Chain A
Amino acid sequence: SQKIEQNSEALNIQEGKTATLTCNYTNYSPAYLQWYRQDPGRGPVFLLLIRENEKEKRKERLKVTFDTTLKQSLFHITASQPADSATYLCALDEDNFNKFYFGSGTKLNVKP
């Protein structure tokens, strides 16, 4: 069956360090992979999209990698700040349709 796995345990890091979150998947062949941020009581907010033929994408302090052989994406936040504390969700499309399935998310806590 199709599965998207994100670490269910919260990630606690110190301000200024780099946070790295992992998204693993099985039985998908996604054309796109997206990362979202969700704060309590709010809807997810789109951060970055990476295509299957792209290895890496950057946006300000954010970096996403996409390894279709390992079936894994890594999401990095450099110079993390307490304001980066939130739940981060990855999402994959199915068969190149505009239909995305979401992982359960990883909660990031950045301590001052």
Chain B
Amino acid sequence: DAGVIQSPRHEVTEMGQEVTLRCKPISGHDYLFWYRQTMMRGLELLIYFNNNVPIDDSGMPEDRFSAKMPNASFSTLKIQPSEPRDSAVYFCASSFQPGQDNYGYTFGSGTRLTVV
């Protein structure tokens, strides 16, 4: 397996524009997570899905953020409109059910978003 695949790796956009981040989880993983990482706040959980269903979106900062998982192999995180304070590295991660011997999150390489 190629691991969790995120695209793009880098995104620079102007304030007010729509940004879409993409993620392909590891095949067979039941859970998908979106995290955001900044120097000030560290890794923050934004939303997570179980079997393509959003379970907890309490970490999504504002209505400008939305996430979808139309099928088991694809998820998107959209920011509309984007603002400079959204600049961060956005990570996608996937995992099996807790309790399995090989349990642990697998993270993608992240998307570095810069909003100017």
Contact = CB atoms under 8 A, between A and B. Distances in A.
B42 A34 contact: no
B110 A49 contact: no
Given A43-B91, A43-B93, A98 B31 contact: yes
A105 B42 contact: yes
Contacts of A42: 109-110
B95 interface: yes
B43 A34 contact: no
A45 interface: yes
Contacts of B91: 43-44
| Chain B facing A: main interface SS | strand
A39 to B, nearest CB: 11
A108 interface: no
Interface residues of B, number: 23
A99 B48 contact: yes
14 contacts: A32-B103, A34-B104, A42-B110, A43-B107, A44-B91, A44-B105, A91-B105, A96-B98, A98-B31, A98-B48, A99-B48, A102-B35, A102-B43, A103-B42
